[in-house]
Amino acid sequence: MRAVADADQRWIPWMRRALELAALADGYTSPNPLVGAVVLDPSGTLVGEGFHARAGEPHAEVGALAQAGDAARGGTIIVTLEPCCHHGRTPPCTDALIKAGIARVVVALTDPDPRVAGGGLQRLRDAGVEVISGVLEAEAAQQNYAFVHRVRTGRPWGLLKWAMSLDGRTALPNGASQWISGSTARTWVHRLRAQCDAVIVGGGTVRADDPLLTSRGLRNPEPLRVVLSRRLDLPDQAQIWDQSVAPTLVVHGQDAPAEARDRLEALGLQREVLPACGPESLMAVLAQRGCNRVLWECGPELAAAALQQACVQELAAVIAPKLLGGEPARTPLGHLGFQAMEEVVVLQGLRQQRLTDDLLLQVTLSSLSYPC
């Protein structure tokens, strides 16, 4: 991230406004990034604002230009991400800026998408438009961290979430788990789902908890609910099969019985067959479906596999002031392969927040290694 030159400092307040606009569409733009834009006329007066609301709809620059009208000619546009220069669902924004007579483009972040990757800025320069880049670059990169991660790695950003008691249990020995956390924490989870493109569980969670896995109406459409089950040993009746509430995708292995596949077909569920039915393969499928950020709400074995296969970039643990006890009781994570304390993962940069009586701990993971 380069330092902003003194001459470019004047654009910082406007870029902050553009970032605020971009945030209005959080959770709705995948596979596209969050983008906001403001237009100033030649005298520096605000004449237009816009943000990208949803994939397939006009980009932020186009919306801001439409609001500005002829006042944009000879003016400046401040935009959080490099304008696109390729034909997708919408025409290139670079062409719209040039046609509108914009004299200066101020950008926070270069688009990592290989179809753009600096090409948009070069197209503008070639047309005689002044280009200033890197204004609040770090803030823009943070806002689009999930999009940037997917473009660079080919996988969505994965967040693993669990709720547990103070003694580290996610259920009683008999499997009862509703509810470990309080109502404030559960509302926080609904908001978290609304910010994700998919929510992932394994077959064991469907059998044990019969979860609904929605945002409770905070997002429309609801995130995709994904069940990963190699052999499709799933119940006939489950809340997650009701697709009038939210869409459901079942991902399974090639050895799943034909009768189990037929049962899913009869329910009208989407299916995906994977030769290697595990977290890594699933993430590739979800990236192809345009998911930028996914939420793992699975049991301990699948959670451990997701961590070991580098499918988790962030952890969120809700700790309730309760004691469940019992040696056979479930814990959040299965075996990670550690044999000595020197091998265990030490987390840095923990963030904490009170959710009424519960404590939320969050951490972004750096590159981790696990024993084979």
Decide: 181 and 163 in contact? Cβ < 8 Å.
yes
Distance CA 60, CA 83 (A): 9
Residue among 20, 49, 57, 61 flagged as catalytic:
61
DSSP-based three-state secondary structure for 232? coil
Q: Which two tokens stand for residue 331?
A: 């814990």
- Place 211 in a pLDDT band, splitting at 50, 70 and 90: very high
Which residues pair with residue 3 across a beta bridge? none
Match 């609301």 to its residue by tokens. Answer: 53
Decide: 25 and 138 in contact? Cβ < 8 Å.
no
For residue 372, pLDDT beyond 70: no
State the burial class of residue 143 (Cβ atoms within 10 Å of its Cβ: 0-12, 13-18, 19+). Answer: buried
Please indicate whether residue 343 is annotated as part of the active site: no
Please state whether beta strands 224-228 and 76-81 pair in parallel, antiparallel, or not at all (unpaired): unpaired
The reported pTM is 0.88
Decide: 81 and 108 in contact? Cβ < 8 Å.
yes
**For range 51-62, the mean pLDDT:** 91
pLDDT at 56: 84
Q: What is the pLDDT of residues 136-164, one digit of tens each?
A: 999 999 999 999 999 999 999 999 999 99
Which residues pair with residue 250 across a beta bridge? 227, 271
CA distances for 64 relative to 59, 184, 319, angstroms:
9, 38, 44
Our CA dihedral for 205, 209, 210, 215, rounded to 10 degrees, sits at -90
Distance CA 268, CA 367 (A): 39
Q: 189: which DSSP letter?
A: H
Comparing 135-144, 264-273, 285-294, 327-336, the range with the smallest average pLDDT is: 327-336
| CA proximity to 196, closest of 314, 116, 63, 334 | 314
- Place 67 in a pLDDT band, splitting at 50, 70 and 90: very high
358: phi then psi, degrees, rounded to nearest 5: -95, 160
Q: 324: which DSSP letter?
A: -
Q: What is the pLDDT of residues 239-263, one digit of tens each?
A: 999 999 999 999 999 989 999 998 8
For residue 87, pLDDT beyond 60: yes
- Place 310 in a pLDDT band, splitting at 50, 70 and 90: very high
| CA proximity to 167, closest of 336, 363, 332, 337 | 332
Distance CA 42, CA 151 (A): 36
pLDDT at 178: 85
DSSP 45-90: -EEEEEE--STTSPPHHHHHHHHHGGGGTT-EEEEEEPPP-S-SSS
Decide: 24 and 17 in contact? Cβ < 8 Å.
no
Q: What is the pLDDT of residues 91-100, one digit of tens each?
A: 889 999 999 9
Comparing 8-12, 157-161, 186-190, the range with the smallest average pLDDT is: 8-12
In the chain, the domains with their CATH numbers are 6-149 (3.40.140.10), 155-364 (3.40.430.10)
| CA proximity to 50, closest of 2, 86, 90 | 90
Size of the chain in residues: 372
pLDDT at 367: 52
* Mean pLDDT comparison of 7-16, 202-211, 249-258, 354-363, highest-scoring range: 354-363
94: phi then psi, degrees, rounded to nearest 5: -60, -40
Q: Which two tokens stand for residue 89?
A: 């669902």
